[in-house]
Amino acid sequence: MNKRSYKGKITILMAISLLLSACSNANNAGNEEGSGHANANSVGSSAVQEERDSNINKEGLPIVKEKVSLQFVTTMSPLQKKPYADLQVVKDFEAKTNVHIDWDAVPSESYKEKKNLIFAGGSLPDAFYGINALDDADVTLYGDQGYLIPLEDLIEAYAPNIKRLFELRPEYKEGVTSSDGHIYSIPTIHEQDQLTQEDALFINKKWLDTLGLPLPATVEQFEQVLQAFKQKDPNGNNIADEIPFSFIYGGARQDGIYSMFGSFGRLDNPDHLVIENGQLVFTADKPAYREAVEYFNRLYQEGLIDPESFTQDTQVITAKGKNEGVPILGAFVGWNAANVLGPERAADYVALAPLKDSNGNQLWNKYHGSSFTRSGFSITSASKYPEVAIRWIDAQYEEEESLQWSSGPIGVNLIKNGDRYDYAPIPEGKSYGEFRHTEAPGNQSARAILRETFAKINESETNLAKIALWNFYKPYQPKEIYPLVVFDAADLERLNILKTDLYSYIDKKQAQFIVKGFTQEDWDSYVKELEKMNLNELLDIYSRYYDKSKR
């Protein structure tokens, strides 16, 4: 470049700079004298903030003097029939807080797509609410990217209930603190040990008695029982309408067949990762996994598996369980029997112990449950009222409010006796799950219910039944499962990319193998494809964090 050319370019750049500066000054002068939009914006923002602050009561209720409206995105249980705005706990809470919530409540089955669209360029709400509103990856990645705001200063200034929770349970504060030192979510806490047991295998004991069959103890006996259910008309209506075995496929821990893989020597789960003898093991390319898939394929080919198991949701399987007239479900996997069958019909079903493998071993899954879930409540960068939002969720983390948002309002679902609580009688024809969600978000709510609170509640028959299931399966659960860890943003972003492709492929091939069968060549091709999809890189990340957790 010659000097004349260089000097010429410098002259042009200086002219442009001076022109921009002049325009900027002219605009500023005009704004100061006229509209007050640009230069006065910071002053205006400060004045607006002062006005907002003056509207907030820093403690007690109501939260604000003049009503404020916020928008929340949340999930909705299939058991909840009313819109959020019509639920009694929501209406009562608005009356107490003077804060109105515009609820964007999405059914659980379609929520992930909605959430992804929001972060891909949609309009951010003030907050994401509920135990399933965001997963661990969302909290870390969207916090790191600035979509979610840090909450630690807001907690210190406006949230005494949450602050007290973190003082009582410092491990929960540690669990929601990201690697950058910030807190981007208020966790959901539900301290019931029985929640580590999510799924159970139920079978129609009345049908077994009618056919003179014992409870099956092995996979071979289970197959024989299902054949009898299909062929021998156990419901006695002279119609071949019996469904021998049903479940919900694809990521549903409490309704899927993951635990049944233990009957072939190794459990499976949605992440396809287990801990054996202190070592991380990937399940979905091992001989035990293949043997289990071959077994389920045989059941499918014999017409013993409900074909809709691969497409149905909770509402569909519940409709089958509550079929009018005679029962049609022989065996199924679920959280509890009453939710699928109704309380009266559930009395005819019993839980099966894990079916024995070829060596007589019995295994059943253990999960972290919802004793601690990182997701509960996150405020976005779009919120104009973060102080109001944090005060709102803090008010819900008061003991009695958390109870009502989870179990239903006092006077409807709960009865208060001094400092103790009873569950109200369940109306005839309803399950506990249905009753729980009549006037509250129930299992989708954000909440903090500690053991000390549960000690004040006289257990319902439903909870006693769940505790019995937990005690029933506890001897068969593994001693160790993959720990709750906080991945840093870079590793988590990479994990998400790897898991999206890998797990979708695994789920697709498992369903295909069960329905259509597979050859040795098909299996070899599947395993090679896993390697091509960077399975080893995924395992390396999980292994590093597992090893770190043991130090």
Q: CB of 62 within 8 A of CB of 299?
A: no
Q: What percent of the chain has pLDDT over 90?
A: 80
pLDDT over 90 (residue 41): no
At residue 461, the pLDDT reads 85
Domains 58-193+370-458 and 200-365+487-549 share a fold: yes
At residue 45, the pLDDT reads 64
The Cα 88–Cα 289 span in angstroms is 47
At residue 349, the pLDDT reads 98
Q: Which segments of 371-519 does DSSP mark as H helices, in order?
A: 386-396, 399-407, 432-436, 451-454, 461-473, 489-516
At residue 551, the pLDDT reads 85
Distance of CA 246 to the CA centre of its chain: 22
Question: Could you state, in order of their start, the residue ranges of all structural domains in the chain?
Answer: 58-193+370-458, 200-365+487-549
pLDDT averaged over every residue in the chain: 90
Q: Mind listing the pLDDT tens digit for each residue in 480-513?
A: 999 989 899 999 999 999 999 999 999 999 999 9
The Cα 417–Cα 424 span in angstroms is 12
Q: What type of residue is 143?
A: G
Looking up tokens 């107490």, which residue turns up? 96
Q: What percent of the chain has pLDDT over 70?
A: 91
Burial of 401 (0-12, 13-18, 19+ CB in 10 A): buried
> What are the b/e assignments for 251-290, b being 16+ CB within 10 Å?
ebbbbbbbbbbbbbbbbbbbebbbeeeeebebbbbbebbb
For helices 489-516 and 136-144, what crossing angle results, to 10°? 140
Domain 58-193+370-458 sits in which CATH superfamily? Answer: Periplasmic binding protein-like II (3.40.190.10)
pLDDT over 70 (residue 4): no
Of 193, 151, 147, nearest in space to 176 by CA: 151
**Assigned CATH topology for domain 200-365+487-549:** D-Maltodextrin-Binding Protein; domain 2 (3.40.190)
pLDDT over 80 (residue 356): yes
What average pLDDT does the segment 166-179 reach? 95
Question: pTM for this one?
Answer: 0.80
At residue 33, the pLDDT reads 31
At residue 97, the pLDDT reads 98
What average pLDDT does the segment 276-295 reach? 97
What average pLDDT does the segment 270-296 reach? 97
At residue 289, the pLDDT reads 98
Confidence of residue 370 (pLDDT cuts 50, 70, 90): low
At residue 108, the pLDDT reads 86
